[in-house]
Structure 1
Amino acid sequence: MSELNIALALIGGTVLITGLVSRPLNRSILSLPLLAFLLGVLAGPVLGWLHPASWGHEMKILEEVARVSLGVSLMGIALRLPPRFVFDRVRALTAILVLGMPLMWIISSGLALGFLDVALMTALMLGASVCPTDPVVSSSIVTGGVANENLPGRFRHTLSAEAALNDGLALPLVMLPILLIKSSDTALQEWLVHVLGWQVLGGVAIGSMLGYLAGKALRAAEARDLIDQPSFLVTTLALTLLALGGAKLLGTDSILAVFVTGIAFDQQVGGKDRSEESEIQEAVNMFLTLPVFMLVGLMIPWSDWLSLGWAGLGLALAILVLRRLPVILLLRPAVRPWRDLPVAFLAGWFGPIGVAAVFYSMLVYRETGNETVWVGASLLMAASLVVHGMTAAPIAKYFGRRYGKR
């Protein structure tokens, strides 16, 4: 009971204090996720106040907390984007996802294979886990005063949409090596039919239907004066949980389903309604995502990191530099919002690794029992938190001074 109260006090105090000084924090080199992560390290490995291993199955707890956090973040992105943005930028997003994601996967897996003493399938699972762009960490470069004042909207919106989509679409990349480990004879058939055919496409179908029906129901309730303001403001949070739970119960990709639900719902609302829904979703997002980074800080495998030695440091540096930037520069002609070279460099650098890597490394552990992927993914996430978190505001300000918002 004492650990529960310590955890509640830490979470509440962190959210309260960071919320009160969020504006200067967003303009500094200290991002909110980085501060939450460091607080987790302090409360766990350093001071020994909290011990997640005593709470139950800590890996399962982290997986589910990460899933809920991702769902809330992706719904927030869906409401924050311009209403038709995903449809208007379908060509650019297709190039990033269909061509860019597999290339990032191959590069990350190759670097893991080169730096670490691991098998090919482990390298492929690690590469797939760190492939997605994190929507929480990247929020420091796409939202807030610094981003709005210095960075072009086409860069911020495209990065947000990419982060939301590739969080869900990373599932097929993660599942392919898992299926090859479990049963190489039927892996391809199961991957095509079950993973792509049902989990991905089924998640899109369920999300589209759920978001559309929820939007229509909201409009009907408003027209008949059946809904009051407090109920209206929690609609999207309830919709997030419904999509997460319902899609998971049906065996589909619940992360992708939430974002599609948000996009479909967003087509039915607008103006003042849309602004209010977005604001409450962003507030809930902040309240739920910071504890995830605290939990990761509590659970980081220090001894396993140290056992990697210089190879772990080399992998982290190589992944940060080579995983994304060369791919975005290569695809620049096909991604119109990032076609300008300065914007392409910006988009190539800010592809942080975060909660999605934690979620997928936990999925790998649950399906295969492989802890090496968690060790590597947590190390790369920590490196990304530090490097991307500390460079977001300075680079955004430099971009604004050098190029303006053109």
Structure 2
Amino acid sequence: MAGLANFSPFEINTSHLAYALLGAYIALFMMVSLFIKERLYIGEAVTSTIFGIIIGPYVGAVIDPRKFGGENGNNAEEETINELILEVTRVVLALGVFAIGVELPRRYVKRHWKSLFFLLCPIMAFGWVISAAFIYALIPGLDYIGSLTIAATLTPTDPILAAAVIGGKFAEQHIPAHIKHIIACESGCNDGAAFPFLYIGIYLLLSPMDTPYAVEEWFLITWLYEVALGIFLGALIGYGARKLMKFCESRNLIDRQSFVAQYVSLTLLCIGIALILGSDDLLASFSCGTAFAWDGFFNKATEESNFSSIVDLLFNSVCFIFIGALVPFDQFNDPTLGGITNWRLVIIALCILIVKRIPPMLALYKWMPDIKTFREALFAGYFGPIGVGAVFISALATIQLPHPEGQPANQAELVAVTIQPIVFFLVLCSTFVHGLSIPFFSLSRRVGTTLNAQAGSLESFSKEDSRETSKDDQGGTRNVQSWIEGSNLITERPINNNSNEDDIDVQVHEVDIGKRGNTSDIIDNMENEFKDVGGSVGKEYEALKRAEYEVKLKQDIEKATQSKKKVVLHVHHKPGTRDWINSKFLGRRNSESTVEASRSNSSSSNDKGKQTSD
């Protein structure tokens, strides 16, 4: 027994705690991910950031990433911390932009270059200059060159946060595909495209007395070598990998599992080669993904695989937990850092989030083919999240700039110590503002719909931004019961006493069926809702397969349109579900609701503002 006296099996340290907490969080998040992402419309970025803050040094004090690599529980060297931040965010960003390049429609960049040009040149440049102006005006210690350097980190649209927000169920239902594609493409490009904005500031800070030399270095090294070589290198790797994969597939040399593994392998290949050559690794990864899926072959081969989504979810969750734990709350009110205070940061955040993109987008959208309306321009202008990319670029800038031993002696040293507090504050604000925009928008619509329902009407806004109101209730006894949230199917009134049990009761909005013939989207929405609430699709359709169901539903809608009769679908909500509660709240005496919407005559399809009729 004496040998067990010194037995101590526990090894509790930061790394082991990090493994356990990360695993526990991701496992629990996956358990309720459907509810959080599809019901509350909150992505993993928001919840992961909150969890990171909770376990970080300022709340739970369980994990402090700044002590990784330190000795005896002390903080690591500043350079070590920034190297860690740089490499963690680099891998996450490269995977994200590669996935964006792969998942864009075939030849997208070639066919939509004009809109992309406006987003990456005038709009991005305006955001850079105006952000620098706000920082310069509110942080008294910084000059305009230093402010431009910090603003370069805040300029690009973050691909990770953008994908987390526009990739959910609500976005699929309410954001047009062309808007999602152009925002995704822009976010894939502009993290790498931000390098020239960053390096002109760095070169001018490091060579304040030799501006011509700084500009020459910026043009020759940053533009011609890093940016141009990065694009060419990535495109070459992607093109070669696509040709090689098609050859191997034609010879039956590659299996389906190896197809999807190319997401990670090609991303790492691009990162490695680009860094060895000293070029822009993020632009290389995006151009590699774009060239790799240029003809749609890879997308077709992997269309049934969810591998990229799984990888993105895991890496994004870990990255935002890491960022949440890194947030330097104590530096948000430290006047010794160039005059940084809480109120100054709040004003900077408000000004940048509002003014950085919206004014130039509204001014230029008429020249951008992918931005078709004022409301689309307003959304695209508002939606410019600041996230992982800003943290990556700020770490890169801090490594490039000299770090002071004591108080900063010049602008380069002052930027080195002030850039991360400003960037982390803006990232925190943007994560919550943009990450929670859709939940708040959904809640406001739900509250407005409830109020309208109690007043005797229910309005539904289509993807075409048209207002379509049904006039089914000619007798004036409309009694709205419930609705299928996030879709264009609405519940207008209870089943009347004259309805037949065999009625198939659906009405689908004219904008979806009459204009586009897009029956499959409606069926997807219906099937998902029925699966979630445990309802039935009616006796006649309950046992049919998907293909038969689609054909029959389309035929029924066409017959109803020709005969000017409505098609009816009875939905029986499972007791205790949200829709069942909604139906109770809105006055139903039982758990049955009726979904009604009708395809109106062709004349109403030309008049978006008019009401539809049976």
Contact conserved, 1:141 with 1:393, CA < 8 A, in 2? no
Whether the aligned pair in 2 keeps the contact of 1:66 and 1:358 (CA below 8 Å) is yes
User: Secondary structure of 1:336's match?
Assistant: coil
Give the structure 1 partner of residue 437 of structure 2. 391
d(CA) in 1 for partners of 2:106, 2:59: 46
- Structure 1 window deviating more from structure 2 (168-177 vs 231-240): it is 231-240
The match for 1:367 among 400, 407, 428 is: 400
Quote the offset at 1:388 in angstroms.
0.8
Asked if structure 2 preserves the Cα contact closer than 8 Å seen for 1:29 and 1:391, the reply is no
The answer to whether the Cα contact below 8 Å between 1:155 and 1:343 also exists between their aligned partners in 2 is yes
CA distance change for structure 1 residues 396 and 70 in 2, over 3 Å: closer, same or farther? Answer: farther
Partner of 2:7: none
State how far apart, in whole Å, the 2-side matches of 1:309 and 1:198 are: 40
Query: d(CA) in 2 for partners of 1:274 and 1:94?
Result: 30
Q: Are 1:181 and 2:169 an aligned pair?
A: no
The answer to whether the 8 Å contact 2:275/2:281 transfers is yes
**Residues 84 and 22 of structure 1: CA distance in aligned 2, closer, same or farther (over 3 Å):** farther
Match of residue 51 from structure 1? 64
Q: Higher helix fraction: Structure 1 or Structure 2?
A: 1
**1:22 and 2:33 are equivalent in the alignment:** yes
Distance 1:47 1:366 in 2: 29
- 1:201 pairs, out of 228, 232, 246, with 228
Q: Which amino acid aligns with 1:53?
A: R
Residues 293 and 299 in structure 2, CA contact (< 8 A), matched pair in contact too: no
How far did residue 403 of structure 1 move?
A: 4.2
Query: Where does residue 163 of structure 1 map in the other structure?
Result: 187
2:321 is the alignment partner of 1:294:
yes
Alignment of 1:191-230 (within 5 A): 191-230=218-257
For 1:121, the equivalent position in structure 2 comes to 145
Q: Are 2:364 and 1:331 equivalent residues in the alignment?
A: yes
What residue in structure 1 maps to residue 312 of structure 2? 285
Percent identical among aligned pairs is: 28
Shift of 1:359: 0.5
Q: TM-score, normalising length from structure 1?
A: 0.95
- What is the RMSD of the two structures over their aligned residues, measured on CA atoms? 1.9
Output aligned runs, 1:200-279, within 5 Å: 200-268=227-295, 269-276=297-304, 279=306
Deviates more, 1:334-343 or 1:125-134: 334-343
- Residue 380 of structure 1 deviates from its aligned partner by 0.3
- Code of the residue aligned with 1:299 in structure 2: it is L
SS in 1 for 2:105: coil
CA–CA separation in structure 2 for the residues paired with 1:97 and 1:43: 37
The residue that corresponds to 2:517 in the other structure is none
Structure 1, unaligned stretches of length 5 or more?
none
Letter of the 1:385 counterpart: T
Q: Which amino acid aligns with 1:52?
A: P
Cα distance in 2 for partners of 1:273, 1:194 equals 39
30, 47, 50: which is aligned to 1:35? Answer: 47
> Bigger radius of gyration, 1 or 2?
2
Question: Is 1:404 matched up with 2:476?
Answer: no
TM norm structure 2: 0.64
Flag the structure with more relative contact order, 1 or 2, with Cα contacts below 8 A and sequence separation at least 6.
1
CA-to-partner distance for each residue in 1:103-131, whole Å, 9 max, x for gaps?
Answer: 01001100111111222222111111000
SS in 1 for 2:61: coil
Deviation at 1:231, TM superposition (A): 2.1
Residue 380 (structure 1) aligned to one of 403, 406, 426: 426
How far 1:396 sits from its partner (Å)?
6.7
Q: 297-306 or 170-179: which moved more? A: 297-306
Partners of 1:151 and 1:97 lie apart in 2 by 21
Q: What SS does the aligned partner of 1:104 have? A: helix
Q: Give the C-alpha shift of residue 270 in structure 1.
A: 4.1
Structure 2: distance between partners of 1:275 and 1:242: 23
Counterpart pick for 1:148 among 141, 148, 172: 172
Deviation at 1:190, TM superposition (A): 0.8
Per-residue deviation, 1:28:
1.9
Which deviates the most, 181-190 or 359-368?
Answer: 181-190
- In structure 2, distance between residues paired with 1:15 and 1:334: 44
Query: Structure 1 401/112 Cα, relative in aligned 2: closer, same or farther at 3 Å?
Result: farther
After superposition, the Cα gap between the structure-2 partners of 1:226 and 1:177, relative to the gap in structure 1 and judged at 3 Å, is: same
What letter is aligned with 2:201?
A: P
**Partner deviation per Cα, 1:129-155 (whole Å, 9 max, x = no partner):** 000001111124421221111110011
In structure 2, runs of 5+ residues without a counterpart are: 1-11, 70-79, 335-340, 404-415, 447-458, 466-614
